A = this chain, B = another copy of it.
């Protein structure tokens, strides 16, 4: 059996966007807090699957007996950064019954007719669930800022609205984990080319990706701004270097484990007389 190489420092510390953080200085090739290589990372990922599944089952179990805790993972990234891989390789370890997955696409005309948080609120995870947002309300301050679909005053309104929304969710029992998967512009080129070369990946390719790619620096500025405006003590941002897919996966797995462990979950005990119930079952 392979030795397990664990993180030296927790991603919840090393990857957290703090005071003075600058996205320009974050290296997408780095593997902060982890000294192992790709194969070590793959072993670690598989090894911790069961932990993740167990904690998620406890979260779900608590809610069946009245618990209100829940988790929300928000994934933001440039195209090809690996959101899909995080969902299948990290969240895939959990019981589908307890995962509430939502991919936010361009809003429909109906969605556009409401405030931008209208469609988000409806997808907030229920008690006991692990919600996953593949893109989110942050699109409304990212792509909207890049293409000037919202003016500066409206963007300010949205940052404020996001903070109020997220702190309300947090106060209602939702642990929110906000992740930006950070790849380099060169890495994106490689991955777009790989999609074009592989029949099993070609369906993921969109000509639109090149158009957005042209705005790379504007997107990085928009992310930087979003971090400055919405990284709070209660709901921090994590920037996960993602040029190495294996690292991004173990880092997000650790963030989820930390979030779940922070909830101090236990198997809930129903208010029944076990001995009496046992007798009733025996006689039934």
Contact = CB atoms under 8 A, between A and B. Distances in A.
A106 interface: no
Contacts of A53: 88
A84 B192 CA distance: 39
A213 B65 CA distance: 22
Contact of A207 (B65, B101, B203, B272): B272
Q: Secondary structure of the A side of the interface?
A: helix
B97 A96 contact: no
Contact of A87 (B96, B199, B205): B96
B92 A101 contact: no
Contacts of A280: 207, 210
A269 B202 contact: yes
Interface residues of A, number: 45
Nearest to A58: B200
B210 A284 contact: yes
A281 B203 contact: no
A22 to B, nearest CB: 25
Interface in A200-241: 200, 202-205, 207, 210, 213-214
Q: 5 closest A-B pairs (Cβ-Cβ)?
A: A88-B95, A61-B203, A192-B281, A96-B99, A203-B268
